[in-house]
């Protein structure tokens, strides 16, 4: 093998893992839009003893090198809960990054396809980092702004490379942008009177109570949300039920950055029937930190203390099936806007929304949301 020959190898050593984790920070170092995740958080996702995804999944990490120089990364994984839930034999790829060289992309995608095919899978799907419960989708439209919290960013050439390698669209995921002033001003003046009328009718006739999460009762609130989550999302494309350990891990990670004014529970006679989680866009603070812990924590604390976050992301919103036609989602949107505006949030991203979720797309458009980014999940048949 020549000193500059391209080769792809599985990650086996601490040195290789460091190269895998560090590669995106080198690749995007001059990109004005990419936001570096915390390096410690990214590395934690590859800790097979602690990260709960590994309890029900098989995962392989691959590193592409030209000689000794890393030029790309990818994971191949089989999520056994997904396959049991959907009665599929699907393998997945994620954490796909590469230099602008199709030969590198092809070698990485082939390595992932071979790995899942050897384990009996019929299709390779992605990108998923690692599932729909974490980051997923390839950005295919809307490259001229930074991603918000827990959304991905990639160069435009990735889509060309993936499609050239034989992948086709499985589902598009939309990100909507909303000026909160279109719903309510920072002084509390309601702008969307039609929405306000709908909300008041829903409140009057339904007996639904929407309340903020109680951070002093956080563990019990998490248990209440668990009751809603898996039943509220179970019929969505690509949905994967979360295990208790995954749910607890996510809740603990988000606890530090939550704004309790933007986390809402809907209850009927004290029973939870819906849940809405909107997050401050911590990417506003992380941008420019290179993922290093100390500057990132200082900036996060400053943004949170002095209410400098101006963007929030409607991260999750769901209602159990038997209550979906009662207008609870309208209550969530309205109350979130009412709570967000006086706290300095001027814009909200609502993401991601399945293109096939017609009701949710309609509701967001009624609110005044406009699609400004599109993400794509791809499939490639293996047999």
The residue from 107, 142, 173 where one domain ends is 173
Residue 82 predicted with pLDDT over 60: yes
Does residue 110 sit in the same domain as residue 224?
no
Strand ranges for the chain from DSSP E: 6-10, 57-66, 69-79, 90-98, 123-126, 128-129, 135-136, 138-141, 168-179, 208-212, 263-268, 271-280, 311-319, 347-354, 370-381
Residues 85 and 153 in one domain: yes
**Residues 162, 182: one domain?**
no
Dist CA 74 CA 83 (whole Å)? 21
Largest CA distance in the chain: 75
1 within a domain of the structure (yes/no): no
The CATH number that applies at residue 291 is 3.40.630.30
Tell whether 325 and 229 lie within a shared domain: yes
| Same domain for 351 and 219 | yes
User: Does some domain include residue 380?
Assistant: no
The pLDDT tens digits for 129-182 are 999 999 999 999 999 999 999 999 999 999 999 999 999 999 999 999 999 888
Whether residue 61 contacts residue 75, with contact meaning beta carbons closer than 8 Å, is answered with yes
Q: How confident is the model at residue 235 (pLDDT cuts 50, 70, 90)?
A: confident
- Between the two ends of the chain, the Cα-to-Cα distance in Å is 31
Measured from the Cβ of residue 115, the count of other Cβ atoms closer than 10 Å reads 23
Residue with tokens 């827990």: 150
Within a domain: 288:
yes
pLDDT digits (tens, 9 = 90+) for 273-301: 999 999 999 999 999 999 999 999 999 99
pLDDT band at 58 (very low <50, low <70, confident <90, very high): very high
How many CB atoms within 10 Å of residue 264?
Answer: 22
Percentage of residues of the chain with pLDDT beyond 90:
84
pLDDT at 1 over 50: no
**In the predicted model, what is the mean pLDDT of the chain?**
95
How far CA 270 is from CA of 202, 209, 216, 230, 306, in Å, comes to 17, 8, 18, 19, 35
Q: Please answer whether residues 210 and 331 qualify as being in contact, where contact means their C-beta atoms are separated by less than 8 angstroms.
A: yes
In this structure, what DSSP letter does residue 13 have? S
> 283 with 160, same domain?
no
* pLDDT for the residue numbered 3: 58
Taking only the tens place, the pLDDT of each residue in 92-124 is 999 999 999 999 999 999 999 999 999 999 999
pLDDT of amino acid 11: 98
Write down the pTM of the prediction.
Answer: 0.95
- The pLDDT of 18-24, averaged and rounded, is 98
- The DSSP letter of residue 248 is H
Whose tokens are 């993936």? That residue is 162
274 and 148 in a common domain: no
Higher pLDDT, 202 or 267: 267
Q: Does any domain span residue 217?
A: yes
The encoded tokens of residue 224 equal 């209440």
Q: Which of 124, 144, 173 is the last residue of a domain?
A: 173
C-beta of residue 340 within 8 angstroms of C-beta of residue 261: yes
Question: 381 lies in a domain?
Answer: no
Residues 160 and 199 in one domain: no
Number of domains composing the chain: 2
Residue 272 is assigned to a structural domain of this protein: yes
Q: Where are the alpha helices (DSSP H) in 244-308?
A: 244-255, 283-286, 293-305
- Token pair for residue 57? 């999944």
Burial class (CB in 10 A: 0-12, 13-18, 19+), 170: middle
The tens digit of pLDDT for each residue in 263-277 reads 999 999 999 999 999
Assess if residue 78 is contained within a domain: yes
Instruction: At 76, list the tokens.
Output: 């191949």
Structure-block tokens of residue 160:
């060309």
264 shares a domain with 229: yes
Q: Are 286 and 354 in contact (CB under 8 A)?
A: no
- In sequence order, which residues have a C-beta less than 8 Å from that of residue 7 and are 6 or more positions away? 1, 64, 65
pLDDT above 80: residue 245: yes
The whole domain housing 155 covers 6-173
Give me the mean pLDDT over the 330-343 stretch: 92
d(Cα 51, Cα 45) in Å, to the nearest integer?
6
CA angle 380, 381, 383 (to 5 degrees): 150
Q: Are residues 163 and 255 in the same domain?
A: no
- Indicate the length of the chain as a whole number: 383
Peptide bond before residue 359 is cis, with ω within 30 degrees of 0: no
Question: Which of residues 128, 148, 173 is at a domain's end?
Answer: 173
* Residue 189 belongs to some domain of the structure: yes
109 shares a domain with 227:
no
Residues 48 and 103 in one domain: yes
Q: What is the DSSP string of 281-296?
A: -THHHHTTSTT-HHHH
* Helix-helix angle 328-340:358-367, to 10 degrees: 40
């Amino acid at each position: 093998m020549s000193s500059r020959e391209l080769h792809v190898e599985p990650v086996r050593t601490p040195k290789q893992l460091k190269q895998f984790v560090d590669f995106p920070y080198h690749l995007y170092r001059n990109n004005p839009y990419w936001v570096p995740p915390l390096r410690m958080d990214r590395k934690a996702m590859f800790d097979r003893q602690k990260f709960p995804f590994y309890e029900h999944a098989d995962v392989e990490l691959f590193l592409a090198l030209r000689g000794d120089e890393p030029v790309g990364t990818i994971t191949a994984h089989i999520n056994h809960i997904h396959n049991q839930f959907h009665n599929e034999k699907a393998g997945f790829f994620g954490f796909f990054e590469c230099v602008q060289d199709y030969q590198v992309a092809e070698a990485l995608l082939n390595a992932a396809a071979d790995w899942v095919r050897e384990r009996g899978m019929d299709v390779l799907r992605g990108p998923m980092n690692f599932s729909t419960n974490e980051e997923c989708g390839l950005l295919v439209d809307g490259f001229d702004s930074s991603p918000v919290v827990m959304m991905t960013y990639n160069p435009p050439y990735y889509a060309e490379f993936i499609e050239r390698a034989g992948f086709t669209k499985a589902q598009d995921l939309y990100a909507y942008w909303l000026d909160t002033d279109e719903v309510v001003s920072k002084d509390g003046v309601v702008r969307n009177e039609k929405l306000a009328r709908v909300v008041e009718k829903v409140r009057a006739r339904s007996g639904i109570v929407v309340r903020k999460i109680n951070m002093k009762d956080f563990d019990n609130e998490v248990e209440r949300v668990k009751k809603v989550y898996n039943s509220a999302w179970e019929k969505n494309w690509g949905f994967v039920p979360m295990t208790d350990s995954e749910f607890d891990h996510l809740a603990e990670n988000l606890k530090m950055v939550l704004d309790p004014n933007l986390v809402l529970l809907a209850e009927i006679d004290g029973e939870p029937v819906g849940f809405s989680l909107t997050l401050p866009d911590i990417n506003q603070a992380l941008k420019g930190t290179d993922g290093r812990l100390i500057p990132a924590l200082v900036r996060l604390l400053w943004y949170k203390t002095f209410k400098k976050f101006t963007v929030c992301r409607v991260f999750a919103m769901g209602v159990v099936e038997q209550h979906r036609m009662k207008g609870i989602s309208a209550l969530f949107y309205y109350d979130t806007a009412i709570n967000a505006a006086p706290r300095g949030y001027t814009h909200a991203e609502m993401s991601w929304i399945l293109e096939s979720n017609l009701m949710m797309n309609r509701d967001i458009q009624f609110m005044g949301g406009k699609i400004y980014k599109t993400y794509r999940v791809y499939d490639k048949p293996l047999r």
